[in-house]
Amino acid sequence: MEPSYIFLTMAVTLLSMPATGFGQGTTRVGFYSKTCPRAESIVKSTVESHFRSNPAIAPGLLRMHFHDCFVNGCDGSVLIDGPNTERKAVQNSLLRGFEVIDDAKAKLEAACPGVTKGINWKVPTGRRDGRVSLQSDAAKLPRFTDSIESQKQQFARFGLNTQDLVTLVGGHTIGTAACLVFNYRLNNFTNGGPDPTINPSFLPQLQSLCPQNGNNFRRVDLDTGSANKFDTSFFTNLKNGRGVLESDQKLWTDVSTRTFVQQFLGEKGVRKLNFGKEFAKSMAKMSNIGVKTGSNSEIRRVCSAIN
């Protein structure tokens, strides 16, 4: 199967590429058509190569993109490696895919010196890299225990609405999570028992995958039964009480977000939304958070800590 162009989107978003002049705070499709016309094809072939060797790269890049944009905007600051940088924060300790970015960057620099099916869209480019990367800033990221109200507030500060929230969380259709981020729900959540929002028929499956005193770093599919397809089954699982993360399951239990889940599922009585089309729109919208310009940015070629 050919990997989705979505992962090219994230790779291009995070990469530094040579450009003439400074950005104006926005991105556009075809930004590198003159300065580096092969840019997209180079990144695409690199991502495809890594994906064929390790399909887990797909959700890894998706998560990395989200973690970058929600801390000081989409400026590649999560890529910077060094003491006390964003990359070293606990919230980013399980991020994957840095080697894909490094590989693509190297190939881009050489060309221009100085099993998942999915959706695709034209990628606006033209971002510059931020100069600041602080471990403490990762505390701004949404947490897997957050209430819907808290999640909505965090998204709203970046100009993203409730529909964007539900849509982007839907990216978990291809994601995984380590046991350590949800095993608290399985045994001693309330009154010594499991989280009551977990379907009783689903609970034994999760408990067997993540037993008490087991391997906290074992990874579990967030979209049980359809982890390798970019589809709406993730939302079906939420409806059936089979959400792995507490924050995900709340999309169904909270009335303000449930409507959008129902729209993506095409339920009777609500206006149907096309998940693929809406995801593309929300990704493009998120990709324009805090686009850097001028002296507060740079075209970074080496992702090492700033001294």
pLDDT tens-digit map of 179-189: 999 999 999 89
Q: What is the pLDDT of residue 281?
A: 92
Residue with tokens 């905007």: 73
Q: What is the pLDDT of residue 152?
A: 96
Binding region for heme b: 172
Residue 267's CB is within 10 A of a number of other CB atoms, namely 12
Of these residues, 67, 128, 258, 300, which one is catalytic?
A: 67
Q: Which residues of 35-61 are buried (b: 16+ CB within 10 A; e: fewer)?
A: ebeebbebbbebbeebbeeebbbbbbb
Binding region for Ca(2+): 68, 71, 73, 75, 77, 86, 173, 223, 231
Candidates 50, 4, 1, 43; CA nearest to 280 is 4
Q: Is the pLDDT confidence value at 203 over 80? A: yes
Q: What is the pLDDT of residue 7?
A: 40
pLDDT digits (tens, 9 = 90+) for 103-151: 887 888 788 776 354 566 676 777 778 778 788 888 888 899 999 999 9
Q: What is the pLDDT of residue 97?
A: 86
Q: What is the pLDDT of residue 17?
A: 36
Q: How confident is the model at residue 12 (pLDDT cuts 50, 70, 90)?
A: very low
Tell me whether residue 50 is one of the annotated catalytic residues: no
Residue with tokens 């303000």: 256
Query: Can you name the residues that pair with 125 across neighbouring β-strands?
Result: 28
Binding region for substrate: 142
Least reliable range by pLDDT among 76-80, 89-93, 297-301: 297-301
Phi-psi region of 84 (alpha: psi -120 to 50; beta: other; left: phi over 0): left
Give 201 or 78, the one with higher predicted confidence. 201
Q: Is the pLDDT confidence value at 1 over 90? A: no
Mean pLDDT for the stretch of residues 205-224: 94
pTM over the 0.75 mark: no
Spatial contact of 225 and 182, defined as CB atoms under 8 Å apart = no
Q: Is the pLDDT confidence value at 54 over 70? A: yes
Q: What is the pLDDT of residue 305?
A: 53
Mean pLDDT for the stretch of residues 238-253: 97
Binding region: 68, 71, 73, 75, 77, 86, 142, 172-173, 223, 231
Written as six digits, the tokens of 178 are: 């380590």
Spatial contact of 220 and 209, defined as CB atoms under 8 Å apart = yes
Q: Is the pLDDT confidence value at 23 over 60? A: no
Q: What angle do CA 206, 233, 273 make, to 5 degrees?
A: 145
Phi-psi region of 230 (alpha: psi -120 to 50; beta: other; left: phi over 0): beta
Would you give the end-to-end CA distance of the chain in angstroms? 44
Query: Can you name the residues that pair with 81 across neighbouring β-strands?
Result: 304
